[in-house]
Amino acid sequence: MPKGYWVSVYPTIEDPMKLETYNELAGIAVRAANGRVLAGIGSRIDAHEAGLPERVVLIEFDSYEQAVAARASTVYQKALDELPDGFERDFRIVEGLD
């Protein structure tokens, strides 16, 4: 069964400290779904073409379905409610190759 991945890129973050509550709740949701953070805050980035050297978060789940269910979970929905103004995010759920 192919793994599932959350891929988030944050081209604009005006105040990273305002993401603390979101990060805490999102972490709970990810751990509850057995997700594993593969790259995140503090990871080095070598951006090319249109890429921006901003925060990139990569989270792996045992399956695509688990990744989708984690996004739909009540805990993650509460995390989304805590996203502050002043930031931009590109979030995708991607199915891995088997």
| pLDDT given for residue 63 in this prediction | 97
Using H for helix, E for strand and C for coil, what is the string for the chain?
CCCEEEEEEEEEECCHHHHHHHHHHHHHHHHHCCCEEEECCCCCCCCCCCCCCCEEEEEEECCHHHHHHHHHCHHHHHHHHCCCCCEEEEEEEEECCC
| pLDDT given for residue 66 in this prediction | 97
Q: Rounded CA gap, 29 and 43, in Å?
A: 21
Domains and CATH numbers, the chain: 4-95 (3.30.70.100)
Q: What is the pLDDT of residues 12-48, one digit of tens each?
A: 878 888 888 999 999 999 999 999 999 987 778 787 8
Q: Rounded CA gap, 59 and 53, in Å?
A: 18
| pLDDT given for residue 41 in this prediction | 75
Tokens of 62: 């045992």
Tokens of 22: 């979101």
| pLDDT given for residue 12 in this prediction | 80
Q: What is the pLDDT of residues 55-93, one digit of tens each?
A: 889 999 999 999 999 999 999 999 999 988 888 889 999
**Higher local confidence (pLDDT), 65 or 98:** 65
